[in-house]
Structure 1
C-alpha cells in the first residue's frame, strides 16, 4: 500500500520536509529574501496532507499506547486508586495543582497521570516559560517528567502527522495559534480532553473539548530606536513609506505562522485590505522563518523594523537592554490565540490532561503574562487590558482562506 502522503507529493517514508528528530526541536533559524522561493511546505498542501493522514494513515498504521517508553514506573500516591494508563479518566474530585484553577482535576486523574510518568508537549512556547513550566510542574508532580518541543506551526504539524503516519505517537499535547488546532480537529488528529471547566473563557473554545485556549498574544511592529523615530511609526500603513523600501524584516508568510496570518487579517481588515498588502509587498521585505532570530537582528541593527512582532518577545529584548520598542498600530494588533489539545492516541493521555489543567491555573497564566506577554484566556482581575485587534478572531474564515495559501502567497508575495 502506498504512503498516505504520496498524494501530497511524498513517497514511501520520506517526510514532506526534513523531519524533526524525536523530542528535538529545530534550533537553526533560516532567513531568505522574498525573491527566493522557500523550502518550507506550503500551508495548503500541508493541510491537505493532514486530512489524508487522518483518514488513511492513522487507520492503516494505528498506535500502540502500551509500548514501553523506557521510563521507570513511578510510584502511585497511596491516597488514590490507579486506573489503567491507556484510558482517559473522568474528572470527579477537586484537586488543584497550583493556584486557582480554570479547570478542575480529580484525584484519579493525578494518580493515573503519575502512573504514566511522563508527558510530551509540542508547540509554541518560549524557552524561558518552558523552563519555568517544567520546573514547577515536576515539583508539583514529582512522579511525572515533562518534555517540551518548541517549534513553529509547520514544524509541529509535520512532527505530529509523521508520528501518526508511521504509527509511533510520542506527542501528548500540541499547542499552536488561532485556527490550526481546529484544523487538527477537523483532520482527526485530536481527541476530546473533556476538561471540567470552572470559569468562562474570554477566547474561543471548542464546544466538544478538543482544544482549549491558553491565552492571547498581540502582534504589532518592533523597531530599533537607534535607527527609527518611533513617533513616525503609528500604523501598519507607516510601513509602506518609501523610506523603508528594502529595509523591512517580515515573518515568512509561507511558514504557516504570524506572517501568513497577518496577511489574511490585513486582507479582511476594512482599514487595510488588498491595496495595503500590495503596497507592502512593493517594499520588498526580507522574510525570516525564526522564533527568536528576528528580534536579535533588530537589536543588532541589521534591520530597523520587524513585523508582525509579538509584544512579549519584543518587550523581553527591551528588558535585556536592547534598543527595541514595540508599537501597537492604530488599526489594532494582529491577534494570536494560543490553543492546546490532546493528540489522538496520545501515549500519556492522563498526564496530558493534568498538564493542560496546570497550564490553565491562575499561577501559570500570570507567570506566562509576565514572561511572554500572553494575556490570560480566562477573566483575571490582575490581567492588563489586552490591545484591540485589527480583525476579530474568526477561525472558520481563516481555515477557508488558509486552503488558498499557495494562491495568496503567489499573488501578493510572489512566492
Structure 2
C-alpha cells in the first residue's frame, strides 16, 4: 500500500506491524540518507535505533556532504532509483525556498505536525525544521587561561593568534552566521551585518584572528583554541575529547543567534514510504530526544518541555537554558542577504583568506 503524500500515519512512535506505513516501508526494505555524520546531533544512534525498530536497511551516502551537495544529489538522480539516490535530506534553513521552487521535495505532514512551530515549516509540508543550535565559543582550556564570555572579550591582547571560525565566511553558513552573531553584539541587526565584518576586521588587525578553518583536531592541538561554532558540534567535541584537552562551551552574553536545519523527502525518493516512516520516527518524542542527547535542540523542544517529557539529565548536559532564551532566529531572507554581503565584502573589509 502506498500512502498519499500528506496522509498522516499513526501517532509517531506508535506505529506497529499492522500500521499501513510500516507495512509499506518494510516492503521497500531500505532507506537512503545523505550527509549524516554519526557524531552530528547523535545521528549514529538515530540510525541504529530506526534500523532496530523497523528492521529496515539504511544506506548512508557521503556523511561529510554539505547542503548544496545533498540538493545536487537529488537533481543528479532524478531518473535513478538506485543506491545513489537519496530518499531524505537534512539541509540548512536557507535552502527551503529552493526546494519548493525547483520542485525537489514531496509534501508530507508528520503526525506531530501541529507541535512544529509555524515559522519553521512549509505550510504544505514540503520541508520542516528538525533541530536548531546557537553559535557558541568552543574553548580549549588547556591553552586558554581565561575563557572568554562575550564577543568583546575576543579583542583582548591575551587572545592573540587564538580565535578562529569553523569555515570560510565566503562559503560556509556556519561562519556566516558567526559574523551575523558578532553583528548583533556590536550594534548591528539581522538586516545590517556590516558591524560583524568590522568586528572581524578589528580581530584580524589585532592579530587575534587565525585564518584557518577550525575543526576538532586544530582545537585539540591548540592551533585554534577559541572557535565559533554550533553549540552541538562544540558539545560533541567536548564529549569526544573527554578532557584531553578540556573543552568549555560558552554561549556568549550577547549576540546569540540560532540556526535551524530542515528535513525533507525527495520528490524522486526510491523508497518514499521508508522516508515517511523515518520522518515519523525523527519527529516522535523518541527521535527528538535522540537529537537532544546529541546536544541539538529538537524543533519540538518547547512542546516537550511543556509536557514534562524531557529527562532532567539531558537538560543538565546543556548550557543554561536562560542563555538560549536570548537566541534570535533570522528569516530565510535575512540569512540569504547576509550570506551575499559577507561573501562579497569579507576580503575587502577583513582581508583574511580563510583556508
State the TM-score, normalizing by the size of structure 1.
0.67
Q: 2:70 aligns with which of 156, 159, 168?
A: 156
- How much does 1:373 deviate? 0.6
Alpha-carbon separation, structure 2, partners of 1:93 and 1:158: 29
Per the alignment, do residues 400 and 190 of structure 1 end up closer, same or farther by CA in structure 2, a change over 3 Å counting?
Answer: farther
Alpha-carbon separation, structure 2, partners of 1:334 and 1:148: 30
Q: Size of the alignment, in residue pairs?
A: 321
- How much does 1:350 deviate? 1.4
CA contact (8 A) 1:121 1:148 kept: yes
CA contact (8 A) 1:312 1:373 kept: yes
- How much does 1:96 deviate? 4.1
Aligned-residue CA RMSD (Å): 3.2
State the TM-score, normalizing by the size of structure 2.
0.77
Q: Does 1:250 align with 2:169?
A: no
CA contact (8 A) 1:109 1:354 kept: yes
CA contact (8 A) 2:181 2:256 kept: no
Question: For residue 330 of structure 1, what is the aligned residue in structure 2?
Answer: 253
Question: For residue 186 of structure 1, what is the aligned residue in structure 2?
Answer: 101
CA contact (8 A) 2:92 2:262 kept: yes
- How much does 1:337 deviate? 1.2
CA contact (8 A) 1:124 1:152 kept: no
Q: 1:123 aligns with which of 35, 57, 63?
A: 35
- How much does 1:115 deviate? 1.6
Question: For residue 218 of structure 2, what is the aligned residue in structure 1?
Answer: 297
Moved over 6 A (4+): 165-169
Question: For residue 376 of structure 1, what is the aligned residue in structure 2?
Answer: 298
Question: For residue 138 of structure 2, what is the aligned residue in structure 1?
Answer: 222
Q: 1:402 aligns with which of 335, 339, 345?
A: 339
Question: 5+ residue gaps in structure 2?
Answer: 316-320
Report the 3-state secondary structure (helix = DSSP H, G, I; strand = E; otherwise coil) of the residue aligned with 2:51. Answer: helix
- How much does 1:266 deviate? 3.8
Q: 1:234 aligns with which of 120, 142, 149?
A: 149
> For residues 285-343 of structure 1, what are the alpha-carbon distances to aligned partners after superposition, in whole Å with 9 as ceiling and x for unaligned?
33455xxx612321222222111x22223233333123111111111433121211111
Q: Does 1:211 align with 2:157?
A: no
Alpha-carbon separation, structure 2, partners of 1:105 and 1:182: 36
CA contact (8 A) 1:216 1:335 kept: yes
- How much does 1:374 deviate? 0.7
CA contact (8 A) 1:154 1:255 kept: no
Alpha-carbon separation, structure 2, partners of 1:123 and 1:411: 33
- Counting helix residues as a fraction of each chain, which structure ranks higher? 2
Report the 3-state secondary structure (helix = DSSP H, G, I; strand = E; otherwise coil) of the residue aligned with 1:214. Answer: strand
- How much does 1:239 deviate? 1.9
Per the alignment, do residues 186 and 400 of structure 1 end up closer, same or farther by CA in structure 2, a change over 3 Å counting?
Answer: farther
- How much does 1:277 deviate? 2.4
Per the alignment, do residues 116 and 258 of structure 1 end up closer, same or farther by CA in structure 2, a change over 3 Å counting?
Answer: same
